[in-house]
């Protein structure tokens, strides 16, 4: 699904529903617009390490907001997967220069600062310039999947079943709090971004398996 199509055909109706129910002073109205601005900013090229780190910090909050919005709209699973697959490809293209770059002391850009686990607040989202721009279960199998996920490190491999074909991808990035994962091939293409719960679901359904 194209991002423009999603915003025009779906997110606009979510905003309209909030407006007619609560008006344009309600926190949900502001949150909806801040999410749009953050989404547009996330798709713009990033300049240097600082913007790349800000982008990587933003992703878990942004994707979580979009997931919550899809829940509120009742967007079906097929359209939702199509949307987040498109976003994964676009975000991988944005992140690729930063993921491949190194800082002055030769450490990867993805080794973030000590405060990297903070979530973006509403004020943080509102401050982005768009113009420049968990599921827990006691089942043994699920617990093993979660243990495997928790042990994942950047560079680890995972096999996905996509459109009936197996693809081996590498873990390129883990969000600071471990709630979001970005996978791609060695060249940074064929990208897939998943929440921790969605990755666990794919493992339990046999749609993904750990290891190259």
Q: What CATH number is associated with residue 180?
A: 2.30.30.140
144 and 111 within one domain: no
Asked if 163 and 120 sit in the same domain, the reply is: no
Same domain, 42 and 122: yes
Domain residue limits at 183: 140-210
Q: What confidence score (pLDDT) does residue 166 get?
A: 87
Same domain? 82 vs 173 = no
Judge whether 132 lies within some domain. Answer: no
Distance CA 81, CA 65 (A): 15
Residue 134 within a domain: no
The Cα 119–Cα 128 span in angstroms is: 14
80 with 14, same domain? yes
Of 101, 127, 153, the one marking the end of a domain is 127
For the beta sheet containing 192-195, the strands, ordered from the edge strand earlier in sequence to the opposite edge, are: 192-195, 180-184, 165-174, 157-162, 208-210
Write down which residue in 85, 102, 127 finishes a domain.
127
Is residue 63 in a domain?
Answer: yes
- The domain total for the chain is 2
Residue 133 lies in a domain: no
Which of 127, 149, 176 terminates a domain? The answer is: 127
Please list, residue by residue across 153-179, b when 16 or more beta carbons sit within 10 angstroms of its beta carbon and e when fewer do: eeebebebeeeeeeeebbbbbbbbeeb
Q: Could you give the CA distance from residue 55 to residue 128 in angstroms, rounded to a whole number? A: 10
120 with 145, same domain: the answer is no
Same domain, yes or no: 22 and 120: yes
Evaluate whether residue 23 is within a structural domain: yes
Give the H/E segment covering residue 180.
strand 180-184
With respect to residue 203, please indicate whether it lies within any of the assigned structural domains.
yes
Tell me, yes or no, whether 106 and 11 share the same domain: yes
Same domain membership, residue 160 and residue 55: no
Q: In this structure, are 90 and 30 located in the same domain?
A: yes
Q: In terms of C-beta density within 10 A (0-12 exposed, 13-18 middle, 19 or more buried), how is residue 3 classed? A: middle
For residue 198, is it within any domain?
A: yes
Determine the pLDDT at residue 140.
Answer: 46
In a shared domain, residues 123 and 47: yes
171 strand-pairing partners: 183
9 inside domain: yes
- Chunked into runs of 10 residues, the chain (212 residues) has average pLDDT values of 88 90 88 88 81 83 89 89 86 74 42 41 60 35 72 89 84 72 75 78 88 72
Q: Which two tokens stand for residue 31?
A: 């949150």
């Amino acid at each position: 699904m194209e991002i423009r199509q999603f915003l025009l055909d779906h997110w606009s109706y979510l905003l309209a529903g909030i407006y007619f129910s609560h008006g344009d002073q309600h926190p949900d109205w502001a949150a909806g617009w801040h999410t749009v601005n953050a989404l547009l900013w996330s798709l713009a090229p990033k300049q240097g390490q600082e913007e790349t780190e800000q982008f990587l910090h933003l992703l878990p909050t942004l994707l979580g907001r979009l997931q919550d919005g899809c829940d509120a709209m009742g967007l079906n699973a097929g359209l939702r997967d199509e949307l987040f697959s498109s976003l994964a490809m676009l975000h991988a293209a944005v992140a690729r220069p930063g993921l491949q770059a190194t800082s002055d002391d030769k450490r990867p850009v993805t080794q973030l600062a000590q405060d990297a686990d903070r979530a973006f607040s509403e004020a943080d989202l509102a401050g982005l310039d768009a113009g420049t721009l968990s599921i827990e279960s006691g089942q043994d199998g699920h617990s093993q999947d979660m243990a495997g996920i928790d042990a994942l490190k950047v560079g680890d491999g995972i096999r996905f079943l996509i459109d009936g074909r197996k693809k081996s991808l590498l873990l390129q990035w883990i969000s600071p709090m471990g709630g979001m994962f970005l996978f791609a091939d060695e060249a940074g293409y064929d990208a897939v971004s998943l929440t921790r719960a969605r990755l666990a679901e794919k493992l339990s359904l046999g749609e993904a398996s750990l290891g190259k």
